[in-house]
């Protein structure tokens, strides 16, 4: 009702002025000057009324603009005692001021909240203007980290730590680098990340600092421990069967020395065993060298090899250990001419790992058995399979066995299978596992 009355009032004033002007024009054309003199005051009254309204509206608008300019959103425009024609305008100004007041309060709350968060985090935060280096924000964590109570400009950092200043200024938005900060007595590593933003025509650079010295030292120590664990694991996997085979050869030599009349086949067996030890020792050395530079490998020593030769070499190496543990190794190879492109030494290491794991899995079986097989699959890929009739693995374990350093064994290092997977990836192949609890496990190497 209020706005309708206001609109009718404005419409009445406009119609009043239109009618009086129209009547004055008519009287002027007809030459009725005596009546025209009467109409002139009426016209002047209409013009003055509209002018006063516009003047008051302009004054009110100026006051509102002034309050917005000075962000005085607490100002209240009296609606109740205002002229009727200005009441809607003042009510609108009050609503706008109330909205701005709520927005300003929310913005201030968010700013205070953000400030508290930045003060609580361990990460040092620094923000400065790019054109003059003026520091806009520096949280307490950074002050403690750099032992700087105040920093007016980023250039002031050069007097305290010139190398860190150079790293900060060279750091580009989106980059992450490790720099060294120097205090009075010590130095430490900082992980720096930078971003940039622009507001009100000013460009700002925001840098986050994290002290990573302790983390790097701990990570380096763990890396060395894990590397030693990996190397020990792989060397032991190869040394154990070599030692067993050497002991068997020693026993055969003693038999041969005591009974020279033994058939010449014994000498062939000795020669074959020694050759196996020699070849596997060289493979072990090659493995150690390869693992040391594993992250640098771009090409493997690939060559065409017969799968039958691979199985035969593995059988000679593992047979003494298998005999000692009374484990049957069954080899199934329907195609004796099956070939594949592979690095023999690395591939043998994978097979040794899988056979050793299978031996561990079947050790509590009454009739322990390991099946080593290979075939050419329908997808035109060569598959080598190592299966056992061991205890099997639950599903939750199957999803994790290729994760580095995950192990279900009490003294396991958890790197054997992850290394197998890495070697298979170098061959542009993959390794998969199938297992049923209580029935056994099968590893499939796909080339």
- pLDDT digit string, tens, across residues 97-143: 777 777 777 777 776 766 666 666 678 888 898 888 888 888 888 88
Question: Residue 296: pLDDT above 50?
Answer: no
Is residue 116 classed as helix, strand or coil in its secondary structure? helix
Q: What is the largest CA-CA distance in the chain?
A: 162
In this predicted structure, what is the pLDDT of residue 293? 47
In this predicted structure, what is the pLDDT of residue 185? 62
Q: How far apart are CA 414 and CA 405, in angstroms?
A: 4
Q: How far apart are CA 92 and CA 266, in angstroms?
A: 110
Task: Tell me what the pLDDT averaged over the chain comes to.
Answer: 76
Q: How far apart are CA 296 and CA 302, in angstroms?
A: 16
Question: Residue 4: pLDDT above 60?
Answer: no
**Which of 288, 286, 282 is CA-nearest to residue 231?**
288
DSSP string, 148-163: -S--SBGGGHHHH-HH
Q: Which residues pair with 198 in a beta bridge?
A: 203
Q: How far apart are CA 247 and CA 340, in angstroms?
A: 33
Cβ neighbours of residue 187 closer than 8 Å, sequence gap 6 or more: 180, 181
446 close to 383: Cβ distance less than 8 angstroms: yes
Q: Is residue 355 exposed (0-12), middle (13-18) or buried (19+ Cβ within 10 Å)?
A: buried
pLDDT, one tens digit per residue, over 66-80 is 776 666 666 676 677
Q: What does the DSSP 8-state code read for residue 6? A: H
Cβ neighbours of residue 288 closer than 8 Å, sequence gap 6 or more: 231, 234, 235
387 close to 441: Cβ distance less than 8 angstroms: yes
Q: How far apart are CA 322 and CA 363, in angstroms?
A: 11
pLDDT, one tens digit per residue, over 326-349 is 888 888 988 888 888 888 888 888
State both tokens at 185: 């007595």
Q: How far apart are CA 332 and CA 311, in angstroms?
A: 10
Own/partner long-range contacts of 405-409 (Cβ < 8 Å, ≥24 apart): 405/226, 409/360
Cα 282–Cα 307–Cα 369 angle in degrees, nearest 5? 90
pLDDT, one tens digit per residue, over 252-265 is 666 666 555 555 55
Of the pLDDT bands very low, low, confident and very high (cuts 50, 70, 90), residue 227 is low
**Which of 348, 355, 357 is CA-nearest to residue 287?**
348
Q: How far apart are CA 206 and CA 129, in angstroms?
A: 9
pLDDT, one tens digit per residue, over 382-411 is 899 999 988 888 877 776 777 655 555 655
Q: If you average pLDDT over residues 180-192, what whole number do you get? A: 77
Question: Position of tokens 């493995």?
Answer: 287
Q: If you average pLDDT over residues 19-47, what whole number do you get? A: 81
Neighbours of 277 (CB within 10 A): 18
In this predicted structure, what is the pLDDT of residue 385? 92
Question: Residue 442: pLDDT above 70?
Answer: yes
Beta strands in 130-253 (DSSP E): 135-138, 176-182, 187-199, 202-211
Cα 45–Cα 46–Cα 51 angle in degrees, nearest 5? 95
Neighbours of 142 (CB within 10 A): 19
Q: How far apart are CA 344 and CA 215, in angstroms?
A: 39
Q: How far apart are CA 21 and CA 10, in angstroms?
A: 17
Q: Does the predicted model carry a pTM greater than 0.75?
A: no
């Amino acid at each position: 009702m209020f706005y309708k009355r206001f609109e009718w009032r404005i419409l009445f004033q406009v119609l009043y002025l239109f009618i009086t002007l129209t009547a004055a024009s008519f009287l002027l054309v007809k030459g009725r000057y005596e009546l025209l003199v009467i109409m002139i005051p009426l016209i002047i009254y209409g013009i003055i009324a509209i002018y006063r309204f516009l003047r008051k509206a302009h004054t009110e608008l100026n006051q509102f603009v002034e309050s917005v300019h000075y962000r005085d959103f607490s100002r209240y425009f009296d609606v109740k005692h205002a002229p009727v024609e200005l009441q809607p305008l003042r009510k609108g100004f009050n609503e706008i001021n109330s909205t701005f007041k709520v927005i300003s309060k929310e913005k201030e709350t968010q700013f205070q909240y953000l400030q508290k968060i930045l003060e609580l985090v361990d990460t040092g935060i620094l923000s400065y203007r790019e054109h003059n280096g003026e520091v806009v924000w520096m949280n307490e964590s950074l002050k403690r980290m750099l032992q700087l109570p105040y920093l007016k400009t980023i250039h002031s950092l050069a007097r305290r730590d010139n190398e860190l200043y150079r790293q900060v200024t060279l750091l580009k938005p989106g980059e992450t680098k490790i720099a060294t900060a120097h205090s009075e007595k010590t130095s430490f590593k900082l992980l720096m990340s930078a971003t940039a933003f622009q507001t009100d025509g000013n460009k700002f650079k925001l840098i986050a600092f994290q002290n990573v010295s302790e983390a790097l030292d701990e990570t380096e120590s763990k890396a060395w421990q894990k590397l030693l664990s990996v190397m020990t694991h792989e060397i032991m996997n190869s040394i154990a069967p070599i030692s067993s085979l050497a002991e068997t050869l020693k026993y055969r030599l003693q038999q041969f020395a005591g009974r020279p009349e033994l058939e010449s086949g014994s000498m062939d067996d000795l020669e074959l065993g020694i050759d196996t030890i020699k070849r596997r020792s060289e493979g072990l050395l090659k493995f150690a060298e390869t693992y040391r530079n594993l992250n640098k490998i771009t090409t493997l020593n690939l060559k065409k090899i017969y799968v039958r030769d691979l199985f035969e070499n593995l059988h000679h190496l593992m047979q003494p250990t298998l005999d000692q543990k009374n484990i049957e190794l069954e080899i199934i190879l329907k195609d004796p001419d099956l070939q594949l492109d592979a690095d023999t030494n690395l591939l043998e290491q994978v097979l040794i790992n899988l056979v050793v794991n299978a031996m561990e899995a079947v050790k509590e079986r009454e009739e322990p058995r390991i099946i080593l097989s290979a075939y050419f699959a329908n997808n035109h890929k060569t598959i080598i399979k190592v299966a056992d009739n061991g205890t099997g693995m639950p599903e939750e374990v199957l999803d994790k066995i290729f994760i580095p350093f995950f192990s279900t064994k009490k003294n396991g290092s958890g790197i054997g299978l992850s290394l197998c997977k890495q070697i298979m990836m170098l061959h542009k192949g993959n390794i998969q596992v199938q297992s049923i609890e209580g029935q056994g496990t099968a590893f499939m190497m796909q080339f």
